[in-house]
């Protein structure tokens, strides 16, 4: 499968301080990792945390999951 484009739409009422982390999560999910994690451990560690929008860069596991997703067969 080849990703050629994506569209991400934001609600007008999201808090400004959460816009960056939300955009990072949505961009990462648009690259094929469409999941959220509900676990307090990941709230400050992963862009996929269901209950937090505070992570502004990919965590170690996030990066590893992307590398795994796009590894050469």
73 pLDDT exceeds 80?
A: no
Q: Global pTM?
A: 0.79
The first and second tokens of residue 70, run together, are 């796009």
pLDDT tier at 7, thresholds 50, 70, 90: confident
Mean pLDDT of 53-59: 92
At residue 58, the pLDDT reads 93
Q: Report the candidate in 9, 46, 51 with the shortest Cα–Cα distance to residue 30.
A: 9
Name the DSSP letter for residue 37: B
Average pLDDT over the chain reads: 88
What CA–CA distance (Å, rounded) separates 55 from 20?
9
At residue 44, the pLDDT reads 93
The first and second tokens of residue 23, run together, are 């955009």
Q: Is the dihedral of CA 66, 59, 16, 35 positive or negative?
A: positive
Q: Where are the domains of the chain?
A: 16-69
28 contacts 55 by C-beta, under 8 angstroms: no
9 pLDDT exceeds 80?
A: yes
């Amino acid at each position: 499968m080849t990703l050629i484009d994506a569209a991400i739409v934001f609600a007008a009422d999201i808090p400004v301080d959460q816009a960056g982390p939300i955009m990072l999560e949505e961009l990462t999910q648009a690259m094929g990792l469409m999941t959220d994690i509900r676990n307090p451990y990941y709230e400050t560690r992963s862009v996929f945390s269901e209950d937090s929008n505070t992570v502004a860069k990919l965590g170690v596991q996030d990066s590893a999951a992307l590398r795994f997703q796009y590894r050469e067969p």
